[in-house]
């Protein structure tokens, strides 16, 4: 630790560079570097850090700086890291990773000590990319055991600090970490074994009889990597798990580069041959299919332990704070993996050759997210020590992950679209219930983003009516009286009052961005689908009318408040959605005839109710409400209190029918005023 020795050594290295001298790096030099690193680490551990700064003497600070300069010059003049020093390099890098993470934990990354530690680590990591891995296979296990977790942890920390002070060194260190991970894990020596992974056969509905247990095909390097990743997940290191998406990206890049290089070598060999034989080399489509399969299998082997961990948490009773914090780390990792999976375009429905394995596994992820949502909603009703962000964090990650699944493929959601809307409305209800607790959180941004994304996606698929009608069904399930259970809703909606869920629906339908998304989506419906859309709206209106009748026998004097909420949803929520669609569909010369038929069918559904309403009998209103609720007039009259309280929300029943009546009249008038088809127009086309 004598600075004079380091200064002399630095001078010698500088002179050596001038004369292009070459020399072999002694093994004990890395031991000396490691000793300096441990000295700086022990200084941090022994110092009580309270002011965000560590006091280091000027002489000692200069010593550390000179030592780092020497490390950079050593590797620069030596040309990289030798295989015989790999084990010592791993030990030295481990100490420096601990040092940098220590500065981050103590908020010293913006201090002089933090900058020094980052530069020190960067100087040691940089030469690893020049290591000849062909002769260092035995060092792979040591590299994975000691460096994988801290490297992944550091990568997440750097991602969080990317816009903070000292961005140049942050960027350099981030790049160095990624190079070390890619070179150490996915070098071309190892990559062929990763490409032979099997992980998705278990998700195929009809597996090949010859398929074997996937674990038996994982060879030594790959098995060891996934064992270490599983241990990281078991230790619940959320920061390290947060970089699993990066790990997948690095593998995808390395695998594609390997296949590309392999293809170029094959092409060169064929070019050298004067008589190339057809069928002896793989075409680009086969290479692409092999890569896609390999990437998905790698994805499965990383994702599966996360899903199992979430399911294990949900099945046992644990403290609310503990569960929500642990779920946040797992869900964030799943979201990062899905984001990387989406960006790499691993799953494309039109190009999928997995026999359904990819889609089935993605559906499994969706189901796990739905299940975890139930737990988050359940524990949001418990005491979380007044720390609402404990709830917000996992809830936000679920919404973000759902958005990625939608972008990967709409068929992943499949028949779960109603559940997706219920999930959105339920989280919105929690948001309403907690009032101003989310002012500084991202959940209110994630909710409307997913709402609009869902409408936009189904608009692109020319199926926007499917998304809107699924929302209508979710609204009908969003409130329920005591004693009533419905499988698709009871998993979400048993923890909050009906009033809170009603407020969530109001908030959704008052969102200008959401309404604008529906406007644009409905206007883009092809003319050939307009009539079918109106028929689907008619069928859903019929279901809504049955919904009003189904709950009325459950209503008594104690449950009239629920019925008032139901009536408001009927008149303010459902009628708004129906009115938006019917008010925006367009009549064209090509769909005029079928359009008129569809509108007539809708009017026939409404006619019995409206006929009663416009009747001249004295008890017209009473009979009208009776037709809507499904109860006889006499029964309603006997329940004077019910009829009296029903008047509090009765205007919304009238709003429902009047709005639909106006829509029908407008549509029918448009269809009637359209000119008949002109043969000459067809001839011109």
3-state secondary structure 30-52: HHHHHHHHHHHHHHHHHCCCCCC
Q: What is the CA radius of gyration of the chain?
A: 33
Q: What is the DSSP string of 473-524?
A: HHHHHS---TT---HHHHTTSSSS-HHHHHHHHHHHHT-HHHHHHHHHHHHT
**Is pLDDT above 70 for 294?**
yes
Count the Cβ atoms, other than its own, within 10 Å of residue 654: 15
Nearest Cα neighbor of 238 from 394, 361, 90 is: 394
**Is pLDDT above 60 for 120?**
yes
Residue-averaged pLDDT of the chain = 79
SS3 587: coil
* Dihedral angle of Cα 512, 517, 520, 522, to the nearest 10 degrees: -110
Angle of helix 464-477 relative to helix 512-523, nearest 10 degrees, comes to: 140
DSSP 648: T
| pLDDT, mean of residues 197-225 | 53
Q: Which of the two residues, 366 and 652, has the higher pLDDT score?
A: 366
Q: What are the φ and ψ backbone dihedral angles of 108, each rounded to 5 degrees? A: -105, 10
Give the model's confidence band at 400: pLDDT under 50 very low, under 70 low, under 90 confident, else very high. very high
Residues 30-41: tens digit of each pLDDT: 888 888 889 888
CA-CA distance, 150 to 142, in Å (whole number)?
Answer: 13
Give the model's confidence band at 215: pLDDT under 50 very low, under 70 low, under 90 confident, else very high. very low
pLDDT at res. 206? 33
Count the Cβ atoms, other than its own, within 10 Å of residue 601: 14
CA-CA distance, 99 to 38, in Å (whole number)?
Answer: 8
Give the model's confidence band at 438: pLDDT under 50 very low, under 70 low, under 90 confident, else very high. very low
Report the chain's terminal Cα–Cα distance, integer Å: 89
Cβ within 8 Å of residue 495, ≥6 positions away: 377, 378, 380, 381
**Is pLDDT above 70 for 352?**
yes
Among the ranges 14-18, 127-131, 339-343, 384-388, which has the highest mean pLDDT value?
Answer: 339-343
| pLDDT, mean of residues 172-186 | 91
Q: What are the φ and ψ backbone dihedral angles of 547, each rounded to 5 degrees? A: -60, -40
Give the model's confidence band at 147: pLDDT under 50 very low, under 70 low, under 90 confident, else very high. very high
pLDDT at res. 472? 94
**Is pLDDT above 80 for 50?**
no
pLDDT at res. 273? 52
pLDDT at res. 216? 39
pLDDT at res. 543? 94
CA-CA distance, 244 to 155, in Å (whole number)?
Answer: 10
CA-CA distance, 346 to 352, in Å (whole number)?
Answer: 9
Nearest Cα neighbor of 144 from 198, 96, 184 is: 184
Of the ranges 343-357, 368-382, 468-482, 503-517, which one carries the lowest mean pLDDT score?
A: 368-382
Q: Which two tokens stand for residue 522?
A: 């409905």
SS3 letters across 212-265:
CCHHHHCCHHHHHHHHHHHHHHHCCCHHHHCCHHHHHHHHHHHHHHHHHHHHHH
**Is pLDDT above 90 for 617?**
no
pLDDT at res. 101? 93
606 touches 660 (CB < 8 A): yes
Q: What angle do CA 54, 111, 14 make, to 5 degrees?
A: 100
Give the model's confidence band at 55: pLDDT under 50 very low, under 70 low, under 90 confident, else very high. low
CA-CA distance, 36 to 95, in Å (whole number)?
Answer: 10
| pLDDT, mean of residues 367-392 | 74
Count the Cβ atoms, other than its own, within 10 Å of residue 647: 12
From the centroid of its chain, how far is CA 128? Answer: 33
Among the ranges 3-12, 251-260, 387-396, 586-595, which has the highest mean pLDDT value?
Answer: 251-260
Q: What angle do CA 311, 315, 317 make, to 5 degrees?
A: 130
Nearest Cα neighbor of 591 from 680, 684, 681, 671 is: 671
Q: Which two tokens stand for residue 84?
A: 């015989």
Residues 627-661: tens digit of each pLDDT: 887 766 554 444 455 555 555 677 888 889 999 99
Q: Which two tokens stand for residue 105?
A: 């934990």
What is the Cβ-side half-sphere exposure of residue 230, based on CA atoms within 13 angstroms?
A: 11
296 touches 346 (CB < 8 A): yes
**Is pLDDT above 90 for 258?**
no
CA-CA distance, 387 to 381, in Å (whole number)?
Answer: 12
Q: Which of the two residues, 647 and 523, has the higher pLDDT score?
A: 523
Q: What is the DSSP string of 596-638?
A: HHHHHHHHHHHHHHHHHHT--STTHHHHHHHHHHT--HHHHHH
Nearest Cα neighbor of 398 from 421, 378, 424 is: 424
| pLDDT, mean of residues 107-114 | 82
CA-CA distance, 540 to 520, in Å (whole number)?
Answer: 21
SS3 274: coil
Among the ranges 48-52, 375-379, 556-560, which has the highest mean pLDDT value?
Answer: 375-379
| pLDDT, mean of residues 510-538 | 92
Q: Which two tokens stand for residue 395?
A: 């809830």
**Is pLDDT above 90 for 146?**
yes
Q: Which two tokens stand for residue 332?
A: 């964030």
Q: Which two tokens stand for residue 310?
A: 């979430």
Characterize 297-336 residue by residue with b for buried, 16 or more Cβ atoms within 10 angstroms of its Cβ, and e for exposed: bbbbbbbbbbbebbeebbeeeeebbebbbbbbbbbbbbbb
Long-range contacts made by residues 203-211, C-beta under 8 angstroms, separation at least 24?
203/300, 203/356, 203/357, 203/358, 203/360, 203/361, 203/364, 204/354, 204/355, 204/356, 204/357, 204/360, 205/355, 205/356, 205/360, 206/355
Q: Which two tokens stand for residue 338?
A: 């899905």
């Amino acid at each position: 630790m004598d600075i004079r020795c380091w200064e002399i050594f630095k001078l010698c290295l500088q002179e050596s560079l001038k004369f292009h001298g070459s020399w072999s790096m002694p093994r004990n030099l890395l031991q000396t570097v490691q000793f300096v690193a441990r000295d700086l680490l022990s200084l941090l551990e022994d110092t009580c850090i309270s002011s965000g700064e560590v006091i280091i003497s000027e002489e000692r600070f200069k010593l550390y700086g000179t030592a780092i300069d020497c490390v950079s010059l050593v590797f620069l003049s030596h040309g990289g890291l030798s295989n015989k020093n790999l084990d010592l390099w791993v030990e030295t890098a481990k100490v420096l990773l601990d040092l940098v993470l220590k500065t981050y934990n103590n908020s010293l990354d913006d201090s002089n000590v933090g900058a020094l530690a980052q530069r020190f680590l960067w100087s040691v990591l940089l030469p690893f990319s020049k290591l000849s891995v062909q002769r260092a296979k035995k060092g792979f296990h040591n590299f994975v055991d000691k460096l994988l977790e801290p490297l992944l942890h550091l990568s997440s920390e750097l991602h969080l600090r990317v816009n903070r002070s000292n961005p140049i060194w942050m960027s350099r260190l981030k790049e160095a970490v990624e190079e070390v991970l890619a070179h150490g894990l996915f070098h071309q020596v190892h990559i062929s074994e990763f490409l032979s992974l099997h992980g998705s056969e278990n998700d195929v509905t009809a597996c090949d009889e010859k398929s074997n247990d996937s674990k038996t095909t994982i060879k030594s390097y790959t098995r060891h990597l996934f064992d270490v990743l599983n241990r990281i997940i078991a230790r619940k290191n959320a920061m390290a798990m947060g970089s699993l998406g990066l790990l997948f990206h690095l593998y995808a890049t390395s695998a594609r580069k390997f296949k590309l290089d392999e293809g170029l070598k094959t092409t060169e060999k064929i070019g050298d041959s004067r008589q190339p034989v057809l069928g002896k080399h793989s075409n680009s489509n086969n290479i692409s299919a092999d890569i896609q399969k390999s990437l998905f299998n790698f994805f499965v082997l990383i994702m599966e332990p996360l899903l199992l961990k979430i399911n294990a948490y949900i099945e046992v009773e644990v403290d609310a704070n503990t569960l929500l914090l642990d779920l946040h780390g797992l869900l964030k990792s799943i979201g990062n993996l899905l984001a990387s999976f989406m960006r790499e375009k691993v799953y494309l429905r039109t190009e999928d050759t997995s026999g359904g394995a990819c889609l089935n596994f993605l559906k499994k992820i969706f189901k796990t997210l739905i299940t975890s949502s139930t737990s988050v909603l359940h524990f949001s009703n418990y005491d979380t020590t007044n720390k609402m962000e404990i709830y917000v964090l996992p809830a936000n990650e679920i919404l973000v992950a759902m958005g990625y699944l939608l972008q990967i493929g709409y068929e992943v959601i499949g028949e779960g679209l109603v559940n997706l809307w219920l999930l959105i409305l339920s989280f919105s209800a929690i948001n309403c219930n907690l009032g101003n607790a989310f002012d500084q959180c991202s959940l209110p941004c994630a909710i409307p983003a997913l709402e609009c994304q869902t409408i936009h996606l189904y608009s692109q698929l020319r199926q926007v009516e499917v998304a809107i009608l699924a929302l209508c069904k979710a609204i009908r399930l969003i409130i329920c009286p005591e004693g009533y259970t419905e499988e698709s809703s009871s998993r979400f909606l048993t923890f909050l009052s009906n009033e809170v869920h009603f407020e969530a629906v109001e908030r959704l339908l008052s969102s200008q961005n959401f309404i604008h998304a529906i406007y644009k989506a409905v206007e883009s419906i092809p003319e050939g689908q307009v009539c079918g859309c109106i028929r689907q709206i008619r069928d859903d209106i019929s279901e809504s009318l049955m919904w009003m009748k189904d709950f009325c026998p459950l209503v008594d004097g104690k449950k009239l408040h629920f019925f008032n909420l139901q009536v408001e949803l009927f008149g303010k929520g459902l009628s708004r959605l129906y009115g938006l669609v019917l008010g925006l569909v367009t009549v064209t010369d090509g769909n005029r005839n079928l359009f008129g038929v569809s509108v007539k069918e809708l009017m026939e559904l409404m006619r019995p109710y409206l006929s009663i309403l416009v009747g001249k009998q004295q008890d017209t209103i009473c009979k009208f409400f009776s037709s809507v609720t499904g109860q006889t007039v006499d029964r309603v009259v006997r329940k004077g209190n019910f009829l009296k309280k029903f008047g509090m929300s009765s205007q919304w029943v009238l709003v429902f029918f009047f709005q639909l009546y106006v829509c029908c009249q407008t549509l029918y008038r448009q269809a009637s005023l359209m000119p008949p088809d002109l043969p000459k127009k067809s001839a011109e086309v």
